[in-house]
Amino acid sequence: MSFFGFNTTLPRDRAPPGDQRGIFDAPDPFAEVARAQAAGLQADDDDVIDFEDTYDGLGDQLDEDQDEFNDDTFGGGGDTGGVGRDFDFFGKTAQVADVIGEEQIRYGLQKPQGSVIPPAAETAATLAAVEAAAAQKPKRSGYEKYEDPGYIPDLQAKSSVWSAHKKTEPSFQAPSLAKKMMSLEEVEAQMRQHPTAPPPGLSQPPVSLPQPMPDLSHFQQPLQPPLPEGFPHLPPEFVQAQLAKGIPPSQLLPPPPMVPEHFPMPGHAPNIPLHLLQNAHLPPQAMTPPQRQAMPPRAQRPYPQQQPQQQQQPQQQPQPPVIPQGPRAQANQMPMVTNPQQLMHLNEEQRIAYLMEDARRAKRNHKIFLLSKGNGLMTPQDKNFITRIQLQQLVAAAGNVADFDSEAVLSEDFYYQVYSQIRGAPRQHPHQPLGHFAQTYLLQTGNRLGGHGSRRHGNSADNHMQRMQQQVQRAVEAAKQKPKNKQLIIEGSLGKISFGNAKAPKPMLNIKRPDSSEGAKTTKKAHADLSLSDRKSILANIEGVYSALMELEDMERTMPPPPDENDPEAIQQHMEWRQKVRALNQKLWQKLKVMEPIVPNTNHPHPFIAFLSCPKGKKAIPRIFRQIDQEQRVTILTMIVVNLDTLDVVRRAQLMPGETQLSLAVREAIELFSQAVMPSLLGYVNEAPFNIIIGLLGLVIAQTHVEMVAKTRIGLGILTMLLSRAEIVKEAGQATERDWQQWVEKFNVLFDTLEPIFPDLFPHSINAGDDMYVWQFLAAVGIGASPEQQQRLVIAVKDRVMETVTYSKTLPADMASQRLGNVNLFMRAIGLDVELLG
Amino acid sequence: MLFFSFFKTLTNQTVTIELKNDIRIRGTLKSVDQYLNIKLDDVDVLDLDKYPHLSSVKNMFIRGSVVRYVVLPRSEVDVGLLEDATRREAANQAGKAR
Amino acid sequence: MERLSINDPPAGGQHGIAPPGLSQQQQQQQNHSLGPMAQTQGPPQLPPQMFTTAAQLLDLTDKKLVLVLRDGRKLIGVLRSWDQFANLVLQDTVERLYAGNLYADIPRGIFLVRGENVLLLGEIDLDREDELPTTVQRASFQEVFELKQKEEERRKGNDKKRHGKLRGLGFEAEHSGEILF
């Protein structure tokens, strides 16, 4: 391919001759134009659209003088006979832009290339210039996006481009683009090609830095810059011109860039008089820097509809004197300077700033140009191919090569799939069975808990829980922390050092553990009541529960459709499914170990209570309650009530003498218990029959240390739950006389037990404000109490009532009303009101 | 695939990545791949003075194998879900090993 | 109903097919409580193509980059090609040597780098690339090279000591067997 003595490694030649159009690259119709012209320059093929049809006549308005430099521009001689004014650019382009026959056309065009071109030296030189310009013109600089000042790199934006497993990528846009482009740019390019009568202004060689010079003399040397000779040589005239504008040379002449730069600046270009283009009647947009002045005005004319396309697709014209990015981008980024007058009006400082900015931009554009020479080595097809390889690997890793089915996606990409749903993204494949999971985890997630309350009482009950949360948080923040002394526990052997692999990574720590188990024990004082093995087995139990739970949740997804009475197969299927669910339910129940016998007088808590002492166990309760029946629920509730004083949130929630606040860990545990466990329990209690409520209260009194239970938030919460439910049952008239008598008996015992400590139920001094749940409990007691009991109740807590009323007067209005509201909840329960206290 | 799945949910979040050679880079996580290679946008190199070669870098591709830590925004992690995802992964692995 | 979507009613719903023992009331509660959540909508999930090496390298193609290798070399060049392992081809590459507050450039040409040796790949902001930090200055190759060698020796000595101490404390060197800068 070295017909013309060129460096044959020009980018055009290196780029594979294959289809350039793929999903990664905007179609580039001008690649074909260039080749078509190089090859068929002589051919008069004007069958599509005539030049006159598309010519807007703008060229005729230009001054037809200032031709002195035409020869410099177009290689002297004036003998460019091959290129006539009547060459049909548009026709050519439209022809080659026909995407269907693209491959064949290109092949056809390239092959006869050598034979079509006449060997005459001069013509060859002209053609060589044309070719070189075309070849040198980058298809894509790769930096197009940066021409857009608002550009934010965003992979997402491209995702649409990717979405193709379809093969329909090829350049569907090409024809229309080609036509649009042709109507303006190409026609003028044709004008410029005319060697004899170039319109002034248009004929000027572009001096703008990033331009490849389509100047013949320069193309005689190889343009592919070899490694640097060092500093780029700016023509002295250019520098002077800049200096005249007040730009310090240091800014004009950048420090040598990392990659060798090569300014293809024609030595004579700066000879253009600076006023030359200022006289042109097409207003240049921003005048002062010579490179801008020298810009053919047509490049500065607005082409609104063309602009975006050009940024995407630098053209491959035979003589493309202007890289589209250059002037337009500049005009874009400096909107305040749109004509020379404006620049004049700027003060010196602004002007220098503007000029420097301009020089900087020109410099960058030049860099982009230099970098872009090797662009396209990797074709869109290559990129696409690699992407597909990777996608295939991903599918293969998911274990199911045959089809990218939803089960495989779920198992391998569970977190992402469910997470994006929970955080509110509709799925890409709407038929994936994920909604179920999203719901599961939505239920589990923090403040979305709840919703299990009864229709009658549920909302206020939930709100009451949530309001309690807020109260606690406020207290937590107000009070200073008193961290307990905790020591790091190193669990498990970390093993010996070895070179690892992906399956068994090399351990980075090699800590020798004390030989005796004694030594290990001393390090974990913080969990003194649980041996290491206990803790391990508890955690293992929890995992067992979770795996059964997850199996059950999976079953929900595969529930067969409701059986048709007449379809024995469907009925059979359904029966089997129910069978499996039942088996899994039993498995879950066993793993929960609720039914294990209660061993009295042991320091090992019941396995289910131990389960509940872990955050993971607490968090599982709402999910478990969804999967079990009423009987299992009441069993769990009973188990909790019986062991109330061994529950971690009760046992560890006792303030030691001298302590004013529970440790952070305990407070967190209480918080989690109220968020995760209480709503489920409340949900059950609010539906429970009266005899169960009576039985539960009896258990609290008989089996637990009531004073201890009552001094904790969770304990009081459960008592409040029972008392208020009893009241509702009674009000609703659902309680038999006998049941009610039984209830009153139990209630009296409770009242008598707690009476001495009513004032002590309040955990903190009055200003801590964390006493709402106590008022709620007192209110629940007050409702059920006899008038005589109410009297005693008032006597027991009247100091706190008065204190709170007095204290709230010192508070801001909203806080005061909140505090008084809490008190009033109790006062109203016994038929009083804080208003009455004056 | 758990970590891959996990990091995918952090797209467009600001993370700080510490490499095994102690360089720390903060930026917007744009993408992650199956090798846990990470693409960061708008990077900000901490202690830039020590790493002049990164002074003009705006976007970065970081090889997954050289990452030591990734510091994540806590609010963007669903711990409960992650726990279950981990259980599933463990079950998968056990199933494959068998 | 076979595959529940997020818009389907939750299991245990209207058809009386419930986990065993669920009371009618409970079922209604569940429906009630889950119903509103079933409407969740938001930004679309991203396509799997986004999460490939190819997608990550796509935007860096034909850009001027700084490539840092695991042996500490810094190469500056134009990324021309790559594959799914992040094997890379760089053109017009210059190796930049740093030592102390000096640096030197050595023209290298074309590089084909095996992916495993890559530490990171950074796109250079063309507007900022010439504004080197004032802390470093250009110097001759010879000068920088000699300084670098001295630094290396010192560093190796220090590393050895450090690793020895760390091992005493039970820490294995993070990149023992390979050097990572």
pLDDT band at B31 (very low <50, low <70, confident <90, very high): very high
Q: Which residue of B has its CA nearest to A551?
A: B88
pLDDT in tens, C133-172: 788 889 999 999 999 999 989 988 888 888 888 888 888 7
- d(C-alpha A104, C-alpha A747), whole Å: 96
Q: In B, which residues are within 8 Å of A419 by CB distance?
A: 9, 78, 81
DSSP C135: T
Flag whether C77 is in a domain. Answer: yes
Report chain B's mean pLDDT, rounded to a whole number.
Answer: 91
Q: In chain A, pLDDT over 90 holds for what percent of residues?
A: 13
The DSSP bridge partners found for residue C77 are C65
Q: In B, which residues are within 8 Å of C102 by CB distance?
A: none
Distance to chain C for A711, nearest Cα, Å? 32
Residue burial A711-737, b: 16+ Cβ < 10 Å; e: rest = bbbbbbbbbbbbbbbbbbbbeeeebee
Residue burial A675-696, b: 16+ Cβ < 10 Å; e: rest = bbbbbbbbbbbbbbebebbbbb
Cβ of B59 within 8 Å of Cβ of A616? The answer is: no
pLDDT score, position A700 = 92
Q: In B, which residues are within 8 Å of A414 by CB distance?
A: 5, 84-85, 88-89
Flag whether C162 is in a domain. Answer: yes
* Residue B96: exposure state from Cβ atoms within 10 A (0-12, 13-18, ≥19): exposed
Range name among A243-257, A709-723, C49-63 with the lowest pLDDT average: A243-257
Cβ of B5 within 8 Å of Cβ of A415? The answer is: yes
Q: Which residue of C has its CA nearest to A574?
A: C17
Q: In B, which residues are within 8 Å of A546 by CB distance?
A: 83-84, 87
pLDDT in tens, A288-320: 344 444 444 444 444 444 443 434 444 343 443
**A34 has pLDDT over 60:** no
**A18 has pLDDT over 50:** no
Flag whether C70 is in a domain. Answer: yes
Cβ of A687 within 8 Å of Cβ of C23? The answer is: yes
Q: Residue B32, SS3?
A: strand
Q: Which domain holds residue C154?
A: 53-169
Query: What is the mean predicted confidence (pLDDT) over A533-562?
Result: 86
Distance to chain B for C79, nearest Cα, Å? 12
Most confidently predicted of A121-125, A246-250, B40-44, C133-137: B40-44
A393–C contact, CB cutoff 8 A: yes
Cβ of C37 within 8 Å of Cβ of A448? The answer is: yes
pLDDT in tens, C56-82: 999 999 999 999 998 889 999 999 999
pLDDT band at C93 (very low <50, low <70, confident <90, very high): very high
Q: In A, which residues are within 8 Å of C1 by CB distance?
A: 559, 561-562
Q: Which chains touch B (3 or more CB pairs under 8 A)?
A: A, C
Range name among A314-318, A372-376, A594-598, A622-626 with the lowest pLDDT average: A314-318
Q: In B, which residues are within 8 Å of C132 by CB distance?
A: 52, 55-56
Q: In A, which residues are within 8 Å of C96 by CB distance?
A: 258
Report chain C's mean pLDDT, rounded to a whole number.
Answer: 75
Most confidently predicted of A78-92, A243-257, A706-720: A706-720
- Tokens at residue A333, please? 């980024």
pLDDT score, position C89 = 95
Q: In A, which residues are within 8 Å of B2 by CB distance?
A: 415
- d(C-alpha A574, C-alpha A562), whole Å: 8
- d(C-alpha A318, C-alpha A193), whole Å: 9
- Tokens at residue C133, please? 């930090």
pLDDT band at A183 (very low <50, low <70, confident <90, very high): very low
Q: Would you kindly state where each structural domain of chain A is located, as residue ranges?
A: 689-837
Closest Cα partner for A258 from C18, B52, B83, B60? B52
- d(C-alpha B82, C-alpha B41), whole Å: 26
Cα A475 to chain centroid, rounded: 35
Q: Which residues, at least 6 apart from C64, have a Cβ–Cβ distance to it below 8 Å?
A: A258, A259, A367, A371, C76, C77, C78, C123, C124, C126, C129
Q: What is the CA radius of gyration of chain A?
A: 42
Distance to chain C for A142, nearest Cα, Å? 6
For residues A406 and A400, is the Cβ–Cβ distance under 8 A? no
Q: Would you kindly state where each structural domain of chain B is located, as residue ranges?
A: 2-97
Distance to chain B for A162, nearest Cα, Å? 14
Read out DSSP for A497-551? -----SSSPPPSB-PPPPSSHHHHHHTTGGGTTS-HHHHHHHHHHHHHHHHHHHH
C131–A contact, CB cutoff 8 A: no
Most confidently predicted of A236-245, A254-263, A369-378, C65-74: C65-74
**C38 has pLDDT over 70:** no
C68–B contact, CB cutoff 8 A: yes
For residues A560 and A573, is the Cβ–Cβ distance under 8 A? yes
For B9, which of A394, A420, A441 is closest by C-beta distance? A420
The DSSP bridge partners found for residue B15 are B27
Query: What is the mean predicted confidence (pLDDT) over C104-115?
Result: 94
pLDDT score, position A253 = 42
**A770 has pLDDT over 90:** no
**C52 has pLDDT over 70:** yes
Interface test with B, best of C40, C45, C49, C56 (most B CBs within 10 A): C56
pLDDT band at A458 (very low <50, low <70, confident <90, very high): very low
Most confidently predicted of A136-145, A231-240, A456-465, A829-838: A829-838
For A415, which of B9, B34, B39 is closest by C-beta distance? B9
Cα dihedral across residues A615, A616, A617, A623: positive or negative: positive
DSSP A169: -
Query: What is the mean predicted confidence (pLDDT) over B5-12?
Result: 93
A579: how many CB neighbours lie within 10 A of its CB?
10
- d(C-alpha A239, C-alpha C147), whole Å: 38
Q: Is the ipTM of this complex over 0.85?
A: yes
For B32, which of C51, C123, C135 is closest by C-beta distance? C51
Distance to chain B for C52, nearest Cα, Å? 5
Q: In A, which residues are within 8 Å of B5 by CB distance?
A: 412-417
Most confidently predicted of A378-387, A595-604, C31-40: A378-387
Query: What is the mean predicted confidence (pLDDT) over A803-807?
Result: 87
pLDDT score, position C113 = 94
Query: What is the mean predicted confidence (pLDDT) over A266-294?
Result: 39
pLDDT score, position A506 = 61
Interface test with A, best of B57, B75, B77, B84 (most A CBs within 10 A): B84
Long-range CB contacts (within 8 A, 24+) of A298-305: A298/A58, A298/A188, A298/A201, A298/A202, A299/A206, A299/A326, A299/A327, A299/A328, A300/A327, A300/A331, A303/A184, A305/A180
In degrees and rounded to multiples of 5, residue C80 shows phi and psi of: -105, -35
pLDDT score, position A119 = 44
For C170, which of A431, A450, A509 is closest by C-beta distance? A509
- d(C-alpha A651, C-alpha A722), whole Å: 20
pLDDT score, position A473 = 35
pLDDT in tens, A735-752: 888 999 999 999 999 999
- Please give the torsion angle defined by the CA atoms of residues A323, A327, A332 and A333, in that order, rounded to the nearest 10 degrees: 100
Cα dihedral across residues C124, C130, C131, C134: positive or negative: positive
For the domain spanning B2-97, the CATH number is: 2.30.30.100
Among A residues 668-707, those touching chain C with beta carbons less than 8 Å apart: 683, 687
Q: In A, which residues are within 8 Å of C17 by CB distance?
A: 559, 562, 574
**A492 has pLDDT over 70:** no
Query: What is the mean predicted confidence (pLDDT) over A359-378?
Result: 88
Cα A593 to chain centroid, rounded: 42
What strands lie across the sheet with B14-19, from one edge to the other? B67-71, B14-19, B24-32, B38-46, B57-62, C118-124, C64-69, C74-82, C88-99, C102-113, C137-138
pLDDT score, position A784 = 81
pLDDT score, position B30 = 94
Q: In A, which residues are within 8 Å of C18 by CB distance?
A: none
pLDDT in tens, A522-546: 444 444 456 777 888 899 999 999 9
What's the CATH code of the domain at C135? Answer: 2.30.30.100
pLDDT score, position A604 = 78
Q: In A, which residues are within 8 Å of C62 by CB distance?
A: 140-142, 371-372, 374-377
- d(C-alpha A460, C-alpha A302), whole Å: 66
Residue C72 identity: G
**A110 has pLDDT over 90:** no
Distance to chain A for B5, nearest Cα, Å? 5
pLDDT score, position B26 = 97
For residues A678 and A717, is the Cβ–Cβ distance under 8 A? yes
For residues A657 and A429, is the Cβ–Cβ distance under 8 A? no
pLDDT score, position C32 = 36
**A26 has pLDDT over 50:** no
Cβ of B6 within 8 Å of Cβ of A415? The answer is: yes
pLDDT score, position C12 = 33
Q: In B, which residues are within 8 Å of C121 by CB distance?
A: 60-62
pLDDT in tens, A608-647: 999 999 999 999 999 999 999 999 999 999 999 999 988 9
Q: Which chains touch C (3 or more CB pairs under 8 A)?
A: A, B
Residue burial A527-544, b: 16+ Cβ < 10 Å; e: rest = eeebebeebeebeebbeb
- d(C-alpha A625, C-alpha A828), whole Å: 35
Q: In B, which residues are within 8 Å of A415 by CB distance?
A: 2, 5-6, 9, 81-82, 85
**A240 has pLDDT over 50:** no
Cα dihedral across residues C138, C139, C143, C145: positive or negative: positive
pLDDT score, position A339 = 64
For residues A265 and A207, is the Cβ–Cβ distance under 8 A? yes
A497–C contact, CB cutoff 8 A: yes
In degrees and rounded to multiples of 5, residue B17 shows phi and psi of: -115, 130
* Residue A385: exposure state from Cβ atoms within 10 A (0-12, 13-18, ≥19): middle
- The count of domains in chain C is 1
Cβ of C66 within 8 Å of Cβ of B52? The answer is: no
User: Which residue is it, tokens 């177009």?
Assistant: A74
Higher local confidence (pLDDT), A125 or A589 = A589
C66–B contact, CB cutoff 8 A: yes
Cβ of B35 within 8 Å of Cβ of C53? The answer is: yes
Interface test with A, best of B9, B40, B69 (most A CBs within 10 A): B9
The CA distances from residue A711 to A365, A466, A721, A754, A823, in Å, are 75, 20, 15, 10, 18
pLDDT band at A53 (very low <50, low <70, confident <90, very high): low
Read out DSSP for A112-153? THHHHS---HHHHHHHHHHHHHHHHS-S--S-GGGGSTT---
- Tokens at residue B75, please? 């609010």
Q: In chain A, pLDDT over 70 holds for what percent of residues?
A: 44
Interface test with B, best of C40, C45, C51 (most B CBs within 10 A): C51
Cβ of C123 within 8 Å of Cβ of B48? The answer is: no
Q: Residue A172, SS3?
A: coil
Q: Which residues, at least 6 apart from A376, have a Cβ–Cβ distance to it below 8 Å?
A: A11, A15, A20, A25, A138, A139, A140, C62
A516: how many CB neighbours lie within 10 A of its CB?
9
Interface test with C, best of A262, A369, A371, A404 (most C CBs within 10 A): A371
Q: In chain B, pLDDT over 70 holds for what percent of residues?
A: 99
- Please give the torsion angle defined by the CA atoms of residues A156, A162, A165 and A171, in that order, rounded to the nearest 10 degrees: 150
Distance to chain B for A415, nearest Cα, Å? 6
